[in-house]
Amino acid sequence: MSIKNVVVIGGGVLGSQIAYQTAYCGFNTSIWLRSESSVGRTRPKIDALYKTYGETLAKMNTPEGKSPLIWSNGLAKADSFDYAACVKANEDAYKNLKLELNLAETLKNADLVIESLAEDPNAKIEFYKMAAELLPEKTILVTNSSTMVPSTFAKYTGRPEKYLALHFANNIWKGNTAEIMNHADTDMKYYDEVVDFAKKINMVPLCLHKEQPGYILNTLLVPFLNSGMYLWAAGISDPATIDTTWRLATGSPVGPFQILDTVGVTTAYNIVSMKPDANDPNSVSGMIAAKLKAMMEAGKLGVATGEGFYSYK
C-alpha cells in the first residue's frame, strides 16, 4: 500500500508537529480534535510552526546555514537543498493541513492514523474502541506514546496486525528521529511500510527489535528529567540553577527544565502520575506530581502557553 492520506489524532505539542511535518512533506494530512476548544488551542501551534519553518529555512539559505546549529535535516538534505521548493512546501502545508471534528469523516480514507493523545491509557483505549468501528480495512494504526508499549493496546484496535508504535522526538524538524517498535502480533509488512513512511517525511527511522517502555530516547531521557525534577521538588535547588549546572558541566545547549517546557508540563505530570507511589505525598513521585499539578492549575504548561518553568512572553 502506498500511504497518501494521514490522520493525526490529537493536536498537542507533538501531534501538531507530526501533522505539520507530514503536510510539509506532501501528504494529505488532517488532525482530528475532540472539540471546538481543542481547535482553538491547536490553531496557534500550527501558526507558530509555519513561522518557525519559514524562519529556519531562511537561516538555512545563508552562507552559514549548513552549520549544525542552524541546519534542520527534517526540512531538507544539505546536498539537495532547494530553498524556493522548501518555502512552497511550507506554504502548502499551512494552507492544506486540516483540523477536523468529525471522526468518521476524517478516518474514512485514512491510509495511516497516528495516535498522539496524552499519556493517559484510558483516553487511548477510548479512542481505539471508537476507531475500530470506523477505520477502513487498509488503514495502518500507530501510537506516538512516549512510555507505553503497543501490546498494551493492541487488543482494543481491531487490527493488531496493523498496529505498532511510531514515536517522534520534540522539535521534529530538527530532532528528526522516528522510533519504530512492533508488538508480538504486528505483521512486519506493515512495520516496513511505517519505516518507509518515516523516511518520506525526512525522519531517521530508529528500529527497535523488541518492546521497551520508553523506547530508546525516553529510556535515556526520563531518568535524567526525573533527577532534575527531584532536585527541584525536594527543595534542593531551583530550575534555573539546575539547568545552568547541566549546561556548564556538559556543554549541552539545554537543561532538564528547558526540555520539560518544550515537552509540556502536562505530559510530564501524566508520566509521573502513572508511578505506583505518585499518590504518596512523601514519595519522590508524589512530591514531583504535586508541584507539576500546581503549575498546571496555574496555566503554566510550558512553551505552548507562554510560561512554564520559564516565561516565553
* pLDDT (tens digit per residue) in 218-277: 899 989 999 999 999 999 999 999 999 999 999 999 999 999 998 899 989 988 988 888
Q: Residues 142, 146, 149, CA angle at the centre, nearest 5°?
A: 60
Q: What whole-number percentage of the chain has pLDDT above 70?
A: 100
Residue 293 structural domain: 222-305
Report the alpha-carbon distance of residue 97 to residue 28 in Å, rounded: 7
pLDDT band at residue 292, thresholds of 50, 70 and 90?
very high
Residues 161 and 268 in one domain: no
Residue 259 lies in a domain: yes
pLDDT band for position 92 (cuts 50, 70, 90): very high
**Co-location of 178 and 281 in the same domain:** no
Joined grid coordinates for residue 262: 518544550
Examine the fold and report which residue of 207, 240, 255 is the final residue of a domain before the chain moves on. Answer: 207
Residues in the chain: 313
Asked if residue 167 and residue 59 are part of one domain, the reply reads yes
Residues above pLDDT 90, as percent of the chain? 89
* Residue ending a domain, choose from 178, 207, 236: 207
Residue 310: inside a domain, yes or no? no
> Is residue 313 in a domain?
no
Residues 203, 93 share a domain: yes
Reported pTM:
0.83
Q: Are residues 184 and 301 in the same domain?
A: no
CATH code, 71: 3.40.50.720
Is residue 20 situated within a structural domain? yes
pLDDT band of 278, cuts 50, 70, 90 = confident
147 confidence band (pLDDT: 50, 70, 90): confident
Average pLDDT over residues 173-190: 97
The residue whose grid cell reads 517502555 is: 213
Same domain for 173 and 226? no
How far apart CA 113 and CA 204 sit, in angstroms, is: 19
Predicted confidence (pLDDT) at residue 24 exceeds the cutoff of 80? yes
pLDDT of residue 146: 85
**Based on the domain organization, do 37 and 165 belong to the same domain?**
yes
Answer whether 42's CB lies under 8 Å from 31's CB. Answer: yes
pLDDT score at 263: 86
Q: How confident is the model at residue 304 (pLDDT cuts 50, 70, 90)?
A: confident
- Say if residue 232 is in the same domain as residue 89: no
Q: In Å, what is the CA distance from 201 to each residue of 8, 21, 172?
A: 14, 7, 10
Reference 112, options 227, 174, 201; nearest CA is 201
* Predicted confidence (pLDDT) per residue in 93-108, tens digit: 999 999 999 999 999 9
User: Would residue 95 count as lying in a domain?
Assistant: yes
Q: What is the pLDDT of residues 62-86, one digit of tens each?
A: 999 999 889 999 999 999 999 999 9
Average pLDDT score, the chain: 95
What are the C-alpha distances in Å from 210 to residues 165, 166, 196, 237? 11, 13, 19, 38
> How many structural domains compose the chain?
2
pLDDT at residue 49, as a whole number: 98
Let me know whether 41 and 127 are in one domain: yes
Could you tell me if 284 and 194 lie in one domain? no
Q: Backbone phi, then psi, for 203, in 5-degree steps?
A: -95, 160
Domain C-terminal end among 154, 174, 207: 207
pLDDT band at 26 (very low <50, low <70, confident <90, very high): very high
State the average pLDDT over residues 183-206.
98
Kindly state whether residue 216 falls inside one of the protein's structural domains.
no
With respect to residue 226, please indicate whether it lies within any of the assigned structural domains: yes
Q: Judge if 88 and 21 occupy the same domain.
A: yes
Q: Which carries the bigger pLDDT value, residue 304 or residue 23?
A: 23
In this prediction, residue 313 carries a pLDDT of: 81
Q: What is the structure's pLDDT at 294?
A: 96
CATH code of the domain containing 258? 1.10.1040.10
Longest dimension (CA), the chain: 57
Q: Are 154 and 226 in the same domain?
A: no
Q: Is position 67 within any domain? A: yes
Position 22 scores a pLDDT of 98
